[in-house]
Amino acid sequence: MMELSQLIFEFRTCDKKLIKKMANHIVSVILEQLVAEPNVSSIPMSGRREIYDLAKIGFSQASLCKARMGCLLSALSKKLKLRLARENQNPLRASDIKYLSVLNQIHEYVVKEISETSAPSLEQSLQWAIYFLIVSSGACFKELADAVVEKIQLKKNPIEHVAQFDLIQLFYTKPSHFFNAKDDKGRQITERLLFIEPISLMAINGFRKRLEKADKSELVEESAFSILKPLLRRAYTATGVTALSQRQLYRTAAFRLMLNPESNMPQWQRFYADGTIQSSSMTLRSFKALVSGTCKAPSRTETYNADIVKTPRKRKKEKHASNQKPSEHPFISVVIEAIKCPTTKNFRPVNETKQRLKSLTAGDWSLAGEILLEWAIYELEHGKWNASSTVMRNLSAIGIPWLLFSNDIELLDLDVDGASYLYDLIKEARKKQDANVLNALQSLFRFTNHRYSFPLPESLNDQKPNTMVVNTLPSEAHFRQLQIDIAVYFKNERDEIREAIHLMLILVRRLFLRPYEVVGIRIKDVSIYSTDSSLFVRRHPFIFVKTHSAVRRLPAHLLLKSDELVLLQKFLTKRKNQADGSKNRLLFSIDPHHDVRFSSSTLSRPVTKLLTAYLGEHTPCYQLRHAGQSALQLVLFGSDELIEQLTPYTAKQAEKIREWLARDANNETLMQLSSLAGHLSSSITLSTYTHHTDLLLFQACCNLEAKYPLRFCQNLSSLRPSTLLKHAKQKTNVGHLSGSEVLQVLRSIQPSKASNALSPKQSDIKCQRVAIKEHQYCPEDCETVLKAYDRNSDNYFAAVTKCGLTPSWAANVVKATQDIKQYKKYFTACGKNSRLYPKNSLKLAPPAPQSLNEREYVTTIWKKLIEAPEGTWSTLRKSVDFLFRQTSHGRSGVIFSSPSRLKAFLDDIFPVLPSSAKWCLILEPNVGKKAIDPAIQQSKWKKKTRIDVIVAKRSNVTGLENYPLGRASLHLLKPKVLQMELDKNNYKKYSTNALQYAAHIFAIYQRAYELETETEE
Amino acid sequence: MANESNNKNRKNSYVKTHAARNEKQLAGKLEWLSSNYVRVVSEHCQQWLDNPNAAVAMISLLTGWSVTDLLKSETKLVCDSSGAFHLLSPWSFTDPKIKSPLRAHLHKPEDKAAIPLPKELGKLLQDIKSHHNLRGVTKKSVGKLLAEIPTEEDFRITPVRVSNTLHYYGSSAGLSKFECRFISGQRMHETSQNYYVCFDVGTTYDKLYKFWDWVLAKTSWRYPTPPVQNFGSKRALNKLGIQSIFAWYKSNILEKTIFNDNRAIFNLFTLYVIELLQLVTLCRPVDAIFGSLDNFDHSFEFIFIRDKGDDSPRLLPLPKIIRPTLQGYIRYLKEIQSQSTFTNKYIFEIVQKILAGKAPFFHFWEEDEMLPVTVSKIKTRLSHFDIDRNWHRHTVITALYDKGLCTDKLACFADHQPSLDHWFNQYSSLDYTPIVEISRQIELLLEHWEVPIIVPPFGRGSLR
């Protein structure tokens, strides 16, 4: 014990650098002396808490300074693995009140100093600006205050004017804060908007004015607190108060804001202001879009043609060998025997498993098998896997798909694309893509990268240790535009499906359902009554409920707009009729008579694309849920003005919602929002989902508007006394001005650049104006018309009009297609069948590529065709004509007789193809008696075109007239197909008709456009 | 193994959060019935009232009592003179052992209170509880009956959801959370606030009947006549009691001033300031009460109080009316200090410490030394007022409740924390406006009670 007291005595005076080490040493000595049990984990939590409390008493007697005491206690709690519930501790401290008095006196001094200084220097005005930014605008933590200082000193126009708001976009890094942005160098940082209240704005304005006149070299790059120090020192001297440390100043400034009853600032906002807790902010672009109420619609919308869902039946068909049981696989079953005793079925001890696996490596296995074994041994040796069951779990998760897919590939020649493809293949092979599968897969690929230097898949390369929080927020205008565009996106689908998608998006936006929850809602989960309508999220086979807290009831009658509620009710009634009284059926089903659930990714993928296009920043579909919660945050905490301007609700509706949620204590408002979002605690709601916290903090700061003497305003804002007096005469007789009044003067002198200032609810009108945009036809529209025509040739106009197309355009498209279809040039040599359609096909729509990846090719080709320069049109037309005439009927290959023709074709067509497109040439060599050697033929083709040539096994080509160098068939390969895996005998399955299809539809589009112009003329 | 232990640890760390969440009446929970189903249950039970299970469910719906509590043998049914039946409230308040004349100035609530039942239901419940053959009624059988009620969206109606109706819809009839707790027979110790309020039962019953009107829609059932009685804390003083206490201070300080007994004046004034501060802050009686001068801000606008453990700290506004007294107390201390500069070094030093915030703010001047105030010392000095030292809390909470202030804000002011949580946590939506409003109301109460505001120097003119 002597040693311990000696140690603590030394700890009191030891060097700062040694504090941590000493603290750890003291803690280990204490534990040695106090606890007989060497393993701390075996001590119950209550016992550990007791040890902690005892030690705390002991330390307090040693009269240590606060910092050292804190260091000791944190080391002790770490060693004891004590989870001290910081979140639930009462955050009030006795010192708070002491510092509050100090800050109040400092404030009095600063106001006095500003009023009395006749000619303030640049430093002084900077000090005042920083002071008010901290004390009045809520920049109450070091990193944020430093970022503001840097911005107002160095940037030309630091303050953004968005409508009636003045704000500064700030980037900072604070260890405890999550990241939501990247800087120019790709480093992760935190972005936040700091809204500036009038007094701070005056101060910044004053500083900027003086800065323009002064020499900028006077400015020194210092932290906010160091700049503020001279001002504080003057205040300490004048008032005689004790000095505040940096942390105390910031903490007390936030507390002072909250303590003022006029601010109506809830407790959580105080901690947001001082950086203790964080809330998701918003990007500047999102905020501008939100306030302006406009939406930048994308120039062109895509159409979705692939299957909207994989039905269970299709899944069954796709069932692959990769889903077979591990015990059925010859290699895996051997490995399982090494892990699990076959007789007792018990897992072997870790060491034994390791030995057995090592002995297995001596066997003759494929490279893929060897890699699996080495991976398991590596993970066991490095302590990442501690049990045989873990080996078993990981091998079961990905063992079989890895062996199957990697056996077909030359692993040693794997490039990044190959690795990514293999990774995706294995991932897709496991239908149940849970965390186990993904973790195991990532671990295996990292191991191969480490041991064999295989490249990492792209998706793994992108992953950074710290996850980023998305802070983009779609506005109501975006949501409306989304509804319009998503209908166009899915216009080839049935009306019912489009209606379902429309409603699903409404539920995600208004009731903040998760996308995977909304697709699983059943008929009986919705109840609509005149006064009380609810939507339930409950556990059942159709739905994946994330946590117990996600089981919830949502007030549909309050959160949905009246027209949306009517829409939901109509849809519900229709589904009830279709369901023949069964309430267990899905509310949104692809098939009206069977339960076929929508795929949530099918819903979220296009939504993500569209939202990203509107905002110009990555905006996942999940942000719709965020937008709903953020709107509700404003409803619960915001002023009527903000509600009217930035949410889809009116002040009256907001009042109703607030009343309804005030069932429990008013102090639980945030918790109520959290419960509706399906979260366990408010922390997750506030940190990730609510994006209006900055704005609410600004609102609270503005509530504290005090009146200041004219002299104060003059000195702070650096305005001419006459200007201010002129305004003051109009406004007040007592010679005092409030911040907002000075702000009006400032704005009258420097008119705001905010062109997008809107009156409340004007956003709606503006948004509607965007919705009625001029329609431009695109190749997708031709597809829509042709599909509608094929479904019902008599009355296809009705279906077409619903998609926003005119009947005249539809008629022109049909006419153009019929012309092309009947064009004799495009018939086979015998003249019976069209090269462009299947045999005896009655349809007008050409056969479309099936997969989504191929579809991307089609859209890219269209895009490039539209953008192609005028000079290339004639050559393009020739090549496309050649393509139609030389396409072999029923196949996707284009036939060529000479390499030079092929070269010319490739040169013409290359600019309109996606950059990743790959070709394959199948050569039927000339096997006639006078023909040259097939190998030479092959080399000639290859030399001219630089495409891999595959020689067909059988060939009937003879004679030197038509095909002297053999007949070559050119195939465009499907996306993501590797050359190495091509099966020479069955190459058809790797080729795509995307080029033919795109060219065909584009030809129809061009012809229809010509016809349309002719009609108009 | 490591993963498993991690999962276990994570699960354990969420236990408290889950428990705290379960305590709250959150809108997103499924544990309550929508207004449509309240009507459906009400109509169903009225229709099948000859089934004892339906009668029990109906009583649970109307009173918020859980079915288990209703069927307990300890739950007593009493019949009044008009033949109406009442459920006897499990709440009971002990009698304070006061012999002093102050006893006469305490509120005089009844020993027992009862929760009324519609006459028809009361009779049925009595039959169920008295007839042995009807004892087959259990929570399970009531649950079975309720589960039979068809619902459109397959929402299961359970006894718990039925009994929660009062808590979720009571506010629409004007019932405060405190009243809901009283009517639903909640265990008294579950919320500390239950011990402190003395209230008019009749007003509560009027609100309850309004709630019944909403639940029963059109009914011919007869409600018992609301009794005129008070129920609750027996430690709350009325206006006369408060006046008598403060009149004692006023007369004694005046008397000691005449005799120029400095020590006695100081001690009396200290006691008076403590009493006054307790009255406006509802601080619990603890040793070194109100801590040091650092717990006050420089203009005596706010006070920091920590009177019960780590979760009790709260920062409360002080009414303007008492600020001169506190400023006067500081002046008084300074005067004592200056007087004892050459006479008593010890007093000089201790006052210096007090003023520097390094010693407790309140001391008693005993002999030639000053000792920090403790509860036992206060009790000894005020032995003639043998009332509990937390009479302030009972009195003010009762008075503020009577004024209709929000019981939650009141609980926050008096540090009646919700279980497993506290009002000042980092994610609390508490703001200072209602706290300041409570302080303002207390100020009005002081004026109403005509509490004398004594400011030194203690001449005849200063004792207002």
CA distance A883 to A893: 9
H/E/C letters for each residue in chain B? Answer: CHHHHHHHHHHHHHHHHHHHHHHCCCCCCCCCCCHHHHHHHHHHHHHCCCCHHHHHHHHHHHHCCCHHHHHCCCCCEEECCCCCEEEECCCCCCCCCCCCHHHHHECCCECCCEEECCHHHHHHHHHHHHCHHHCCCCHHHHHHHHHCCCCCCCCCCCHHHHHCHHHHHHHHHCCCHHHHHHHCCCCHHHCHHHHCCEEEHHHHHHHHHHHHHHHHCCCCCCCCCCCCCEEECCCCECHHHHHHHHHHHHHHHHHHHHHCCHHHHHHHHHHHHHHHHHHHHCCCCCCCCCCEHHHECCCCCEEEECCCCCCCCEEEECCHHHHHHHHHHHHHHHHHHHHCCCCCHHHHHHHHHHHHCCCECCEEEECCEEEECCHHHHHHHCCCCCCCCCHHHHHHHHHHHHCCCCHHHHHHHCCCCCCCCCCCCCCCCCCHHHHHHHHHHHHHHHHHHCCCCECCCCCCCCEC
Chain B within 8 Å of A350 (Cβ-Cβ)? no
Give the pLDDT band (50/70/90) at residue A431: low
CA distance A421 to B390: 75
Q: Which residues of A touch B21 (CB under 8 A)?
A: 549, 671, 675, 680-681
Chain A residue at shortest CA distance from B169: A663
Two structure tokens written together for A501 = 């998608």
Over 50: is that where the pLDDT of B464 sits? no
Give the pLDDT band (50/70/90) at residue A231: very high
pLDDT tens figures, A639-685: 999 999 899 999 999 999 998 887 656 678 999 999 999 999 899 99
Q: Which residues of A touch B3 (CB under 8 A)?
A: 390
pLDDT at A673: 94
What residues of chain A, 632 to 661, have a C-beta less than 8 Å from chain B? 637, 660-661
Mean pLDDT of A35-45: 68
**Is A264 in contact with B433 (Cβ distance < 8 A)?**
yes
Which one, of A653, A630, A656, A651, lies nearest residue A640 by Cα?
A651
HSE (CB half, 13 Å, CA atoms) of B137? 31
Q: Where are the beta strands (DSSP E) in A173-273?
A: 181-182, 188-195
pLDDT tens figures, A521-568: 999 999 888 778 899 999 888 888 888 899 999 999 999 988 899 999
Of residues B18, B426, B435, nearest to A91 (C-beta): B426
pLDDT at A765: 39
pLDDT tens figures, A128-161: 999 999 999 999 999 999 999 999 988 888 899 8
Over 70: is that where the pLDDT of A730 sits? no
B191 with B181: CB under 8 angstroms? yes
Contacts of B317 by beta carbon, 8 Å cutoff, 6+ apart: A261, B301, B302, B432, B435, B436, B439
pLDDT at A772: 29
Of residues A83, A265, A552, nearest to B13 (C-beta): A83
Mean pLDDT of A175-199: 87
pLDDT tens figures, A602-633: 788 889 888 988 888 889 999 999 999 999 99
Q: Which residues of A touch B323 (CB under 8 A)?
A: none
Give the pLDDT band (50/70/90) at residue A424: confident
Of residues B27, B299, B422, nearest to A676 (C-beta): B27
The residue type at B354: I
Interface test with A, best of B429, B433, B435 (most A CBs within 10 A): B429
Mean pLDDT of B364-392: 92
Chain B within 8 Å of A155 (Cβ-Cβ)? no
Q: Which of A312-316, A585-589, B106-110, B142-146 has the lowest mean pLDDT?
A: A312-316
pLDDT at A756: 38
pLDDT at A309: 45
User: Of all residues in chain A, what percent carry a pLDDT higher than 70?
Assistant: 84
pLDDT at A880: 83
Over 50: is that where the pLDDT of A369 sits? yes
Mean pLDDT of A472-485: 90
Over 70: is that where the pLDDT of A719 sits? yes
Integer CA distances (angstroms), B400 to B111, B200, B278, B280, in order: 22, 13, 15, 12
Of residues B36, B295, B298, nearest to A104 (C-beta): B298
For residue A411, give the 3-state DSSP assignment: helix
Over 60: is that where the pLDDT of A588 sits? yes
Task: Tell me which range, A409-423, A658-672, B15-29, is most confidently predicted by mean pLDDT.
Answer: B15-29
Which one, of B400, B396, B129, lies nearest residue B236 by Cα?
B396
CA distance A703 to B432: 13
Give the pLDDT band (50/70/90) at residue A999: confident
User: Of all residues in chain A, what percent carry a pLDDT higher than 90?
Assistant: 22
Over 60: is that where the pLDDT of A757 sits? no
Chain A residue at shortest CA distance from B435: A261
Which one, of A462, A262, A451, lies nearest residue A373 by Cα?
A451
Interface test with A, best of B405, B430, B435 (most A CBs within 10 A): B430
pLDDT at A314: 38
Contacts of B176 by beta carbon, 8 Å cutoff, 6+ apart: B406, B407
> What was the ipTM of the complex prediction?
0.92
A464 φ/ψ sector (left φ>0, alpha ψ -120 to 50, else beta): beta
Burial readout B190-223 (b: 16 or more C-beta within 10 A, e: otherwise): ebebbbbbbbbbeebbebbbebbeebbeeeeeeb
Two structure tokens written together for A548 = 């117990």
Which one, of A380, A396, A461, A404, lies nearest residue A434 by Cα?
A396
Integer CA distances (angstroms), A34 to A21, A54, A110, A348, in order: 20, 10, 53, 38
CA distance A590 to A496: 8
pLDDT at A380: 85
CA distance A942 to A923: 10
Of residues B3, B27, B315, nearest to A672 (C-beta): B27
pTM of this prediction?
0.71
What is the pLDDT of chain A when averaged over all its residues? 80
pLDDT at A773: 32
Give the pLDDT band (50/70/90) at residue A502: very high
Give the pLDDT band (50/70/90) at residue A762: very low
Chain A within 8 Å of B2 (Cβ-Cβ)? yes
Over 90: is that where the pLDDT of A920 sits? no
pLDDT at A459: 66
- Phi, psi of B419, deg, nearest 5: -65, 140
**Is A675 in contact with B26 (Cβ distance < 8 A)?**
yes
Burial readout A188-201 (b: 16 or more C-beta within 10 A, e: otherwise): bbbbbbbbbbbbbb
Q: Which of A511-525, A933-947, B333-347 has the lowest mean pLDDT?
A: A933-947
Give the pLDDT band (50/70/90) at residue A754: very low
pLDDT at A311: 38
B97 exposure class (CB count in 10 Å sphere: 0-12, 13-18, 19+)? exposed
Chain A within 8 Å of B18 (Cβ-Cβ)? yes
Over 80: is that where the pLDDT of A766 sits? no
Which position has the higher pLDDT, A310 or B106? Answer: B106
Give the pLDDT band (50/70/90) at residue A725: low
Which position has the higher pLDDT, B230 or A808? Answer: B230
Chain A residue at shortest CA distance from B297: A101
pLDDT at A555: 93
Which position has the higher pLDDT, A988 or A595? Answer: A595
pLDDT at A308: 46
Over 90: is that where the pLDDT of A635 sits? yes
A899 with A926: CB under 8 angstroms? no
CA distance A289 to A617: 12
- Phi, psi of A526, deg, nearest 5: -120, 130
Of residues B21, B298, B428, nearest to A667 (C-beta): B428
Two structure tokens written together for A682 = 């408010």
A322 with A401: CB under 8 angstroms? yes
